[in-house]
Amino acid sequence: MSVFPVVLSQSKFIHRDSVKYPLEERALQFGDGIYEVIRIYNGSFYLLDEHIDRLYRSAEAIKLTFSVSKTELKELLSELVVRNNLTEDGKIYMQITRGSAPRDHIFPKNVEPNFYAYVQALPRNLQNLKNGVSVITHPDERWQNCYIKSLNLLPNVLAKQTAFEQGCYEAILHRDGIVTECSSSNVYLVKDGKIYTHPTTRNILHGCVRMAIERFVADVGIQLVEEPFKIHDIQEADELFLSSSTSEITPIIMVDGQKIQDGKPGEITRKLQKAYEKDANILENLITNV
Ligand code: PDD
C-alpha cells in the first residue's frame, strides 16, 4: 500500500515520522475526542460538508472548543490531499482530542486540542459491492450518545471482531431486539418496496452516506421510513443493506448464517448503488458491469 508522507498536525503540514504524542494525552487515556472518516474518489472529497458539519456537532456535544473554522479546516484538508499527490480513491482520517495534560478526569484548563489528519489509499471493495456480505447480529452494548462520533469505540471494536471471527463482515447491533445500526455502518431493511431504518435519535450515528441515501430515494421514487425494525423482521426481509463512507452501499445477503431471500443483492439496493456512483462522480460504473 502506498504511504502518503505528509500529515496535518495542529494545522501544520509535517512528515508522518515526526508526529510525536506525549504519554498523557486525553484520547490515549480517556478516549476524550472525536473523529471523522471522509471518502475520496479520484482525489476529490465526497460528502465533505456533511462530515465537517457532523465533526463540529460532535465537538459541541462533548464541550470541546476547536478554534479552526469550518472553512479553514476544509482548506487544510484539501491541501493535505494535494501535498500528498493523492489522485486515486482514498480516505482522510482526522481526529481532535481535548489535548495533552496531566491525567485528571476534569477538563484541563488552557490546553489546546490536539488535531491531526492523514490520507490513505482506499480502493472500492468491488467484490463486496457486487456480491454482498454476510453479517451477524450482536447486542448493542454502547452508551446512550451514539450520535457523537467519539473515539470510544471499544463496544464497536468487540462486536466487529466477533463478526470477523465468524467469517463475517459486520455486526448488526440491537437493543432488546430493536436494530440500531452496525458496528461501523448504518443498516436498512427493505420490505414491500419500502426501506426501513432506525430514526436519527441519540442511539445511532447520523451517517453521511445515509444523508445521501435520503436524497437518492426521492429520485428513485422509493419511500424511506424512519422506523426501527426488529431482529425477528430480518428473516422476512426482501433486502438488507448497510452504508458507510468506506463501505458505500453494500448488500447484506446473509445474517447469522441464514440467507436473505435467494442470497443475492436486491433490486432496490442496486438502484441505490447506482445513484451513489452517479452522486459521487465515480467513473467506472459497478452496476453495468454486474
Ligand atoms: N464509520 N455508524 C457507525 C457506528 C459508524 O462508525 C459509521 C462510520 C457509520 C456511517 O457513517 P458515514 O456514512 O458518515 O460514514 C454509521 C466510519 C467509516 C469508521 O469509523 O471507520
Nearest CA to ligand 1 atom 3: 184
CB 263 within 8 A of CB 240: no
243 lines ligand 1 (CB under 6 A): yes
- Examine the domain organization and report whether 80 and 199 are in the same domain: no
- Examine the domain organization and report whether 242 and 219 are in the same domain: yes
| pLDDT tens for each residue of 181-228 | 999 999 999 999 999 999 999 999 999 999 999 999 998 899 999 999
* Integer Rg of the chain from CA: 19
Q: Which residue bears the cell 435519535?
A: 201
- Examine the domain organization and report whether 249 and 214 are in the same domain: yes
> Does an H or E element contain 239, and which?
strand 239-244
pLDDT reported for residue 202? 98
**Pick from 103, 121, 139: which residue ends a domain?**
121
Q: How far is CA 55 from CA 38, 72, 147, 207, 282, in A?
A: 11, 14, 11, 12, 25
Q: Does some domain include residue 31?
A: yes
Task: List the CATH number of the domain containing 229.
Answer: 3.20.10.10
171 lines ligand 1 (CB under 6 A): no
Q: Which residues are catalytic?
A: 149
Q: Does some domain include residue 279?
A: yes
- pTM, two decimals, is 0.97
- Report the range of poorest mean pLDDT among 127-131, 143-147, 236-240, 281-285: 281-285
140 lines ligand 1 (CB under 6 A): no
Q: Does some domain include residue 169?
A: yes
- Examine the domain organization and report whether 27 and 74 are in the same domain: yes
Is the pLDDT at 39 greater than 70? The verdict is yes
- Examine the domain organization and report whether 181 and 245 are in the same domain: yes
Mean of pLDDT values over 24-47 = 97
- Examine the domain organization and report whether 140 and 255 are in the same domain: yes
Nearest CA to ligand 1 atom 2: 185
Nearest CA to ligand 1 atom 19: 184
185 lines ligand 1 (CB under 6 A): yes
**Distance from CA of residue 257 to its chain's centroid?**
25
- For residue 173, give its domain range: 126-289
Give the Å distance between the CA of 94 and the centre of ligand 1: 13
Q: Does some domain include residue 103?
A: yes
Is the pLDDT at 286 greater than 80? The verdict is no
Closest approach atom of ligand 1 to CA 50: 14
37 lines ligand 1 (CB under 6 A): yes
Give the Å distance between the CA of 4 and the centre of ligand 1: 23
Bridge-partner residues for 85, per DSSP? none
Tell me the percentage of the chain whose pLDDT exceeds 90: 94
State the average pLDDT for the chain: 96
Give the Å distance between the CA of 244 and the centre of ligand 1: 5
Closest approach atom of ligand 1 to CA 51: 14
250 lines ligand 1 (CB under 6 A): no
Give the Å distance between the CA of 179 and the centre of ligand 1: 16
- Examine the domain organization and report whether 83 and 166 are in the same domain: no
Exposed, middle or buried by CB within 10 Å (0-12, 13-18, 19+), for 183? buried
The alpha carbon dihedral of 50, 110, 31, 12 has a sign of positive
Q: Does some domain include residue 167?
A: yes
- Examine the domain organization and report whether 255 and 130 are in the same domain: yes
| pLDDT tens for each residue of 247-284 | 999 999 999 999 999 999 999 999 999 999 999 999 77
- Examine the domain organization and report whether 110 and 179 are in the same domain: no
Q: In the structure, what pLDDT confidence band is assigned to residue 21 with cuts at 50, 70 and 90?
A: confident
- Examine the domain organization and report whether 109 and 145 are in the same domain: no
Q: Does some domain include residue 1?
A: no
What residues contact 227, with CB distance under 8 A and at least 6 apart? 196, 199
pLDDT reported for residue 30? 98
- Examine the domain organization and report whether 99 and 166 are in the same domain: no
Is the pLDDT at 232 greater than 60? The verdict is yes
Q: Does some domain include residue 147?
A: yes
pLDDT reported for residue 1? 58
Listed residue (88, 108, 114, 104) closest to 35, CA to CA: 114
Domain count, the chain: 2
**Pick from 89, 106, 121: which residue ends a domain?**
121
Mean of pLDDT values over 155-165 = 98
**Pick from 121, 145, 172: which residue ends a domain?**
121
- Examine the domain organization and report whether 134 and 117 are in the same domain: no
Q: Does some domain include residue 179?
A: yes
What the block records as the C-alpha cell of 218 is: 426521492
| pLDDT tens for each residue of 106-127 | 999 999 999 999 999 999 999 9
Mean of pLDDT values over 158-164 = 98
